Structure 1
Amino acid sequence: MFSFIARKSMVRAVALLLAAVVSAGCAASSGYPLMKIDVIDTQKLPGAVNETSGLFCTAGGAVTVNDSGNDAVLYFLNENGNITKKAQLDFPNKDIEAITANDRYFYIADIGNNRGNRNYVSVRQLDRQTYKKIKTFRLTYKGNTPSANTPYNHDYDAEALTVREDKLVLFSKSWDTEHARVYQIASSPKSQELTAVQVIKGLPGIITGADWDKANQRFIVVGYNSNLLGVLRPFIAVLASDYRVVSVSPLERFGQVEGICAKANGEIWLTQEKSPLQDARLIRLKIK
């Protein structure tokens, strides 16, 4: 959520500002090849999804969810950003930050933990036809001590979840180290302690959205960093199947990007949350 800027420590903010000045751009600071992208279209989203926090592509468009402070609702969008259908869910929204799916199930990730004080986070499995809850995964992180965490300055927060084959893949935000951790969630048991299977170094900011692009056998992620003035510098990156960073590109015209998904036609769709400086938007682009 946008209010994190005002809450972080001055030391942390100064460090981010200095890093931004030295790097002179997020793609350059990453040290990875610059990705070329072509923005196809961008549409303002309706007020009902101003706090869009996750995105999953469907055959007819995409599905998004709002984060904390909103009801748990699935919003179905077309390519113009219009809401074509809504589905009320039968559980509360503590801090829903991501949505993904396979052929049978939606997975709704209530995993937001900016303050670091949650003892566990949840992923709910829903039937894709009825939207009814089938199962809840209760997740903890190995090594996490919530009482010892400093808000917006710890590594046990996440906003990005995707499905790859038979596993859910979760990417951490990692405020403290800035090295994203990758976790895999098994189909059982319901309660799991997560241990990182990989660490991603060198991205120019925190990850806020991810998708497994099956057609191209790659992960695509979005996120942002910020400076002392609260100006966000969003980016998009491609990761290989083993989580190696392949390429990175800044998203120059945009702000607080939160969701990303890959369409079957090769398009990449993003959603951007409303902020004091920008509207909530649906962004369609292609990676050249």
Structure 2
Amino acid sequence: MKIRHIPVLAAFFLSAFQISAQQAGCPDRLAVNYDPEAIVNDGSCRYNPANIAPLGSLNLDAEISETSGLIFRDNMFWTHNDNTDINLYALDTLYGKVIRPYPLTGLTNTDWEEITQDENYIYIGDFGNNSGNRTDLKVYRVARQSIPGNTLQFDSICFSYPEQVDFDSESYDSDFDCEAFIVSGDSLYLFTKCWASNTTTLYSVPKSPGTWDAKMRSSLNVNGLITGAVYIGEKRVIVLTGYSEKLKPFLYMLYDFTGTGFFDGNKRKIDLLLPYHQVEAITTTSGTRFFITNEAFSYEPLIKNRQKIHLVDLRSFLGDYLGLSVPVPDNLNSFIISPNPTNEYILVQSLPELIPADYFLINISGQIVKSGELESDSSVVNLSDLSSGIYFLRIGTEKRHAYKIVKE
């Protein structure tokens, strides 16, 4: 008998060997353990602490003081409250003003905490569970074409957590609260808000009407409470919002994962320079510019923050991964300053090994008008208290790095 398939078999085994031989590691140039030889992302990337300030913020109307979910659709933002209000509010994107409310007649708002969408439906998560005692968790599935319309077309996706056996926990002490989810393929993916452990657990539920047991996928230690999510499927990017128990808000970026292994790729936490803002929701219009809402929060007489919408640009964190023409610090360009000229803030990016570093801001008279320490390889320096003019940013004490800054 002649053996005719030896070349085919040889090619198959060679291909399999080449795939298995691909080096696993951290392929993200922004990570402290970046491996330029890595082909396969094994989820091991580690990052220095980083923070970001909004490019701008707008007050929202009083009728959406408890804004809790946010999507971008038909060139408008859409949000809802997390109280008994059954309206979906359309907002203009220029000023954040309510264009009009759309009552979702027939739905009940026990605790609407999130909204997401696919090509055919809008999904509203009625799964807020601060006390951990709800047995009526559900997601409303609303046909997109019925908003606006005279007759709302909707059904319900009911679910429970099989791991939950105790429904008598104290308020704000349960790991079965949820305020964030996305839709992908045939399923909804929930990111729990874990009051007890400060982690988040990923659950999946079919996106079809019915009653389901949520399937636990994996968990991630976020050291905080997750409150919102946005998913850019074609780019394999998820950005979560959250805050610490001391109401220090943050973003948590998940990217360069495979399939629905959302916690298996890069995981990076970015602090938001919005102290005591209870951030609740996030959406994007471009994949790099993200809009975040916070509900009203007061602790008088010390704190009184109105409901707002904020714009943040994550190009400096995601641009390299997304293949955009974004400069990345390297040995020839150790520090990158942006934006420049600026109105309020500058972002100072650097090689991780150069951090921490002292900085000095010097006016044209040679006086040091501001100084401090860069604690992260992506540090924000607030210039809002300085007059317009030309300044020089000196980094380090050896005077090797100096940059001209224009404050408008």
Using the TM superposition, give the Cα deviation of residue 42 of structure 1 relative to its aligned residue in structure 2, in angstroms. 0.8
Determine the C-alpha separation between the residues in 1 that align with 2:209 and 2:86. Answer: 24
Aligned to 1:158: 178
Aligned to 2:309: 282
Aligned to 1:251: 272
* Alignment partner of 1:205 out of 200, 224, 227: 224
Aligned positions of 1:103-122 closer than 5 A: 103-122=119-138
Equivalent residues of 2:239, 2:254 under 8 A apart: yes
Percent of aligned positions with the same letter in both sequences?
27
Cα deviation code 1:100-138 (max 9, x no counterpart): 111111001100000111113010000112142422011
Question: Aligned pair in 2 of structure 1 residues 267, 117: CA closer, same or farther (>3 Å)?
Answer: same
Determine the C-alpha separation between the residues in 1 that align with 2:166 and 2:99. Answer: 40
Gaps of 5+ in 1: 1-30
Cα deviation code 1:40-61 (max 9, x no counterpart): 2210000010000111122413
Residues 1:218 and 2:237 are matched in the alignment: yes
* Alignment partner of 2:101 out of 83, 86, 90: 86
* Alignment partner of 1:261 out of 279, 283, 305: 283
Residues 1:47 and 2:69 are matched in the alignment: no
Aligned to 1:9: none
More divergent stretch after superposition (269-278 vs 256-265): 256-265
CA-atom RMSD in angstroms: 1.8
Determine the C-alpha separation between the residues in 1 that align with 2:245 and 2:215. Answer: 28
Task: In structure 1, give the amino acid aligned to 2:81.
Answer: N
Aligned positions of 1:181-192 closer than 5 A: 181-188=201-208, 190-192=210-212
Aligned to 1:8: none
- Calculate the TM-score normalised by the size of structure 1: 0.82
Using the TM superposition, give the Cα deviation of residue 178 of structure 1 relative to its aligned residue in structure 2, in angstroms. 1.7
Gaps of 5+ in 2: 1-45, 299-303, 317-408
Task: In structure 2, give the amino acid aligned to 1:211.
Answer: V
Determine the C-alpha separation between the residues in 1 that align with 2:181 and 2:78. Answer: 14
Cα deviation code 1:220-263 (max 9, x no counterpart): 00100123xxxx10001101332335211111224100001121
Determine the C-alpha separation between the residues in 2 that align with 1:173 and 1:286. Answer: 25
Equivalent residues of 2:192, 2:200 under 8 A apart: yes
The SS at the match of 2:248 is strand
Instruction: Give the number of the structure with larger relative contact order, counting CA–CA contacts within 8 Å between residues 6 or more apart.
Output: 1
Determine the C-alpha separation between the residues in 1 that align with 2:50 and 2:187. Answer: 28
Determine the C-alpha separation between the residues in 2 that align with 1:265 and 1:77. Answer: 20
Residues 1:176 and 2:183 are matched in the alignment: no
Task: In structure 2, give the amino acid aligned to 1:46.
Answer: D
Question: Aligned pair in 2 of structure 1 residues 147, 215: CA closer, same or farther (>3 Å)?
Answer: closer
Aligned to 2:75: 60
Equivalent residues of 1:225, 1:233 under 8 A apart: yes
- Calculate the TM-score normalised by the size of structure 2: 0.59
Question: How many residues are treated as equivalent by the alignment?
Answer: 252
Determine the C-alpha separation between the residues in 2 that align with 1:66 and 1:213. Answer: 24
Equivalent residues of 2:156, 2:209 under 8 A apart: no
Determine the C-alpha separation between the residues in 2 that align with 1:264 and 1:258. Answer: 20
Determine the C-alpha separation between the residues in 1 that align with 2:243 and 2:305. Answer: 15
Using the TM superposition, give the Cα deviation of residue 140 of structure 1 relative to its aligned residue in structure 2, in angstroms. 0.5
Equivalent residues of 2:232, 2:287 under 8 A apart: no
In our comparison, the structure showing a higher alpha carbon Rg is: 2
Question: Aligned pair in 2 of structure 1 residues 37, 135: CA closer, same or farther (>3 Å)?
Answer: same
Determine the C-alpha separation between the residues in 2 that align with 1:46 and 1:200. Answer: 35
Task: In structure 2, give the amino acid aligned to 1:284.
Answer: L
Determine the C-alpha separation between the residues in 2 that align with 1:42 and 1:189. Answer: 38
Question: Aligned pair in 2 of structure 1 residues 81, 265: CA closer, same or farther (>3 Å)?
Answer: same
Equivalent residues of 1:221, 1:236 under 8 A apart: yes
